[in-house]
Amino acid sequence: MASSSLTGRNRALFSVSTLLLCFLLCISEQSNAQSSPVFACDVTGNPSLAGFRFCNTGLNIKARVTDLVGRLTLEEKIVFLGSKAIGVSRLGIPAYNWWSEALHGVSDLGSGTSFSGQVPGATSFPQVILTAASYNVSLFQAIGKVVSTEARAMYNVGSAGLTFWSPNVNIFRDPRWGRGQETPGEDPELSSKYAVAYVRGLQETDGGDPNRLKVAACCKHYTAYDVDNWKDVHRFTFNAVVNQQDMADTFQPPFKSCVVDGNVASVMCSYNQVNGKPTCADPDLLSGVIRGQWKLNGYIVSDCDSVDVLYTNQHYVKTKGEAVAKSILAGLDLNCDHFTGEHAMEAVKAGLVNETAIDKAISNNFATLMRLGFFDGDPKKQPYGGLGPKDVCTADNQELARDAARQGIVMLKNSAGSLPLSPSAIKTLAVIGPNANATLTMLGNYHGKPCKYTTPLQGLAETVSSTYQPGCSNVACPEPDIGSAAALAASADAVVLVMGADQSIEQEDLDRLDLYLPGKQQELVTQVAKAAKGPVVLVIMSGGGFDITFAKNDEKITSIMWVGYPGQAGGLAIADVIFGRHNPSGNLPMTWYPQSYVEKVPMSNMNMRPDKSKGYPGRTYRFYAGETVYAFADGLTYTKFDHQLIKAPRLVSLSLDDNHPCRSSECQSLDAIGPHCENAVEGVSDFEVHLKVKNVGDREGSHTVFLFFTPPQVHGSPIKHLLGFEKVRLGKSEETVVRFNVDVCKDLSVVDEIGKRKIALGHHLLHVGSLKHSLNISV
Ligand SMILES: *[C@@H]1O[C@H](CO)[C@@H](O)[C@H](O)[C@H]1NC(C)=O
Ligand SMILES: *[C@@H]1O[C@H](CO)[C@@H](O)[C@H](O)[C@H]1NC(C)=O
Ligand SMILES: *[C@@H]1O[C@H](CO)[C@@H](O)[C@H](O)[C@H]1NC(C)=O
């Protein structure tokens, strides 16, 4: 209808002018960038505030929150349901922007953080998928600790908030996912360990008081979120159909660990629906699980802006007020963006949600800010008050970024005599490829501004004289300049090709359609390798894996390395590995599938387990038994490690209560809960596995010991499952004993069809590399 389309256009004009207004305001906000932190209860500046109980640091947080909430009008309360809280000046509460990000370094992607003259950049660590490949839990925590120090330093000069919506702990379920790069990979155990360690690094204060937070972390995106934009499937409208079994043993574990073991201060619900309900409006998932079962101490925040999305895109509710009401009643405390601020009053007036529910939500938000010291007066006088620009991008922090990158780098192929290159034997090195001189690409998404960059070319050229040809104008590589690249390769003693992807290939809101190297990269690589006279090292810079079967099988390509998106010091780390100053010890945190896999499997099928009747092959190393290009946990080193089992039981007998049904009749499995689990007598429901690990090569190196188990085939159990891993560093000929404590009910259990943990009875197989040990669990 003509009239309505006119209204539509007016609305569009109106929003353009609001945007313009906002643009101008934002500019002026930028130029007035403050140099002091925002905080409440400035009793020095305003002595009258000292009388408020919520400012009294001697009281407990609960009492302070209750006092504060009791002083607010409904209008004022609604302000604190949204991420851009404008504050309440009569109570000395300034505006606070909740949205900051620190996925792998302080980022300015969230509007609560910005770089400025005072702090022009922050240490940019490798994208998470590469850090995960180090399998080094102390590294995960060390990075988190540096990031929170830099974050506090930036907060102190008014450049950042205190609430960071990181990490992303979704399972990297499908190789095409554009955000797989942000995650710790496909394995629930690794993802859980990563979540806990990174969150501790961000949150834990030096004093170790659990009531205080250094900064507040956030595990996201809850839950079963791992499709962005694939064919006609979009995250805003995608309904992830997830069975209870996959939910319990694949999608939920990282979140559970993050809350229960990591004590995270926040969880973010996702855009997608799970089994027909938007996650941000699902009371079972939010109040029921996160708060009820896992006992979150903190706040639940929506993705930006999931509450709007469930109304506008999903049409899940009829009115905007209803969207607000349903999400708050489900357990949401904070909405990223302004939708709740605009529509909460409508919801209250319509009787869809009452003030008590709003009080509950804002109380969780306030309690978090109180644990951060936001209501404790001048931060300069608090712990971390001495941090400032001098503590950002320090030499040590930048060295950790370099170390993290080299600890993660995975060597996938290395023909005898190829790597490491000996600098004295190389007069010229040809460095070729669209990522050979990469800067921003090395950071991956959710980046900030790095302290500085060292590109692969710069890193390699520090050691040997290097020549350079990009070979393609960009990673899409539509028309490679094969002639120049091949000529360069032919004139050099060795060749390093730096290929792969960037954010134009895989990113938020962009999933891949195939697993091939983009454009004509393969042709360039093959022709360059053919022309080369010495070793050819193929370096893949990417988040997701590629089908590089051609390179694996090409004898002219003597080495292959995957470097993720290696962060600001990526070029140094790559050179450290190529010239052997660092012995590679990274292992893939995800399966590299052949192209045929994605031709068979729709990205939108969430099922982890294979379905033979439909030709569905299953997902990840736990359930997919087909061909891989490279497998989960693959990774080579310049030395060699041997394992020897020195202790593991052959038989574990669980003692059941007299009246337990499995005493009288045959059972395939037992509940992984009950007296037989609690009477943890050593050798009864838990046991030790001891392995001797020896470095039998001729140089020092680090090595991850992976302990997998294969349970009996009941309840569609996994082919194998990582039950623990431990990274050790060993000098030449050095050996050590690695000990795993295995709790039968926790670590050796499987999840049944309705999502319950069970101990399968019968023959289990433990594996470490090629070593296998069989173990019988009986009653
Ligand atoms: C407010 O709403 C909640 C949730 O619907 C309900 O349990 C509670 O009794 C209500 N409180 C008041 C004071 O009406
Ligand atoms: C490599 O990139 C750096 C940083 O952008 C730039 O300064 C340099 O000129 C580039 N080198 C070549 C050979 O293009
Ligand atoms: C793990 O990382 C830490 C921190 O960077 C490092 O000191 C340690 O050597 C690493 N461990 C191994 C076994 O490589």
DSSP per residue over 108-153, as a string? SSSTT----SS------PPPHHHHHTT--HHHHHHHHHHHHHHHHH
* Residues 6 or more apart in contact with residue 450 via CB below 8 angstroms: 105, 121, 122, 123, 124, 443, 567, 568
- Which of 348, 353, 354 gets mutated to test ligand 1 (max ligand atoms within 8 A of its CB)? 354
The H-assigned helical ranges of 296-354 are 306-312, 320-330, 339-349
Nearest CA to ligand 3 atom 9: 729
Tell me the residue type at 269: C
Catalytic residue of the set 108, 187, 282, 303: 303
Is residue 108 part of the annotated active site? The answer reads no
Q: Does 354 sit in the ligand 1 pocket, CB within 6 Å?
A: yes
* Residues 6 or more apart in contact with residue 143 via CB below 8 angstroms: 104, 125, 131, 198, 201, 400, 404
For residue 446, give the nearest of 206, 59, 178, 103 by alpha carbon.
103
Q: What is the CA radius of gyration of the chain?
A: 27
Name the strand (E) or helix (H) holding 397.
Answer: helix 395-408
The domain segmentation of the chain, as residue ranges, is: 47-391, 410-585, 639-778
Structure-token pair, residue 218: 């956030």
pTM recorded for the entire structure:
0.95
CA of 136 to the centre of ligand 3 (A): 6
How far, in Å, CA of 158 to CA of 154, rounded? 6
What's the CATH class of domain 410-585?
alpha beta
**Confidence (pLDDT) at 679:** 62
Torsion, CA 21, CA 27, CA 29, CA 35, rounded to 10: 170
Ligand 2 atom with the shortest distance to the CA of 453: 4
Q: Which residue has the tokens 């405390």?
A: 333
Cβ(223)–Cβ(277) below 8 Å: no
**Confidence (pLDDT) at 655:** 87
* Residues 6 or more apart in contact with residue 9 via CB below 8 angstroms: none
Nearest CA to ligand 1 atom 1: 354
Residue 167's CB is within 10 A of a number of other CB atoms, namely 31
**Confidence (pLDDT) at 31:** 38
CA of 353 to the centre of ligand 1 (A): 8
Instruction: Indicate the SS3 state at residue 464.
Output: coil
CA of 654 to the centre of ligand 3 (A): 38
Q: Do 47-391 and 639-778 share a fold? A: no
How far, in Å, CA of 654 to CA of 778, rounded? 6
**Confidence (pLDDT) at 21:** 44
Q: Point out the residues of the chain with pLDDT beneath 50.
A: 1-32, 680
Tell me the residue type at 259: V
How far, in Å, CA of 151 to CA of 312, rounded? 35
Structure-token pair, residue 261: 């073991």
Domain with residues 639-778, CATH architecture: Sandwich (2.60)
Q: What is the CATH number of domain 47-391?
A: 3.20.20.300
CA of 329 to the centre of ligand 1 (A): 10
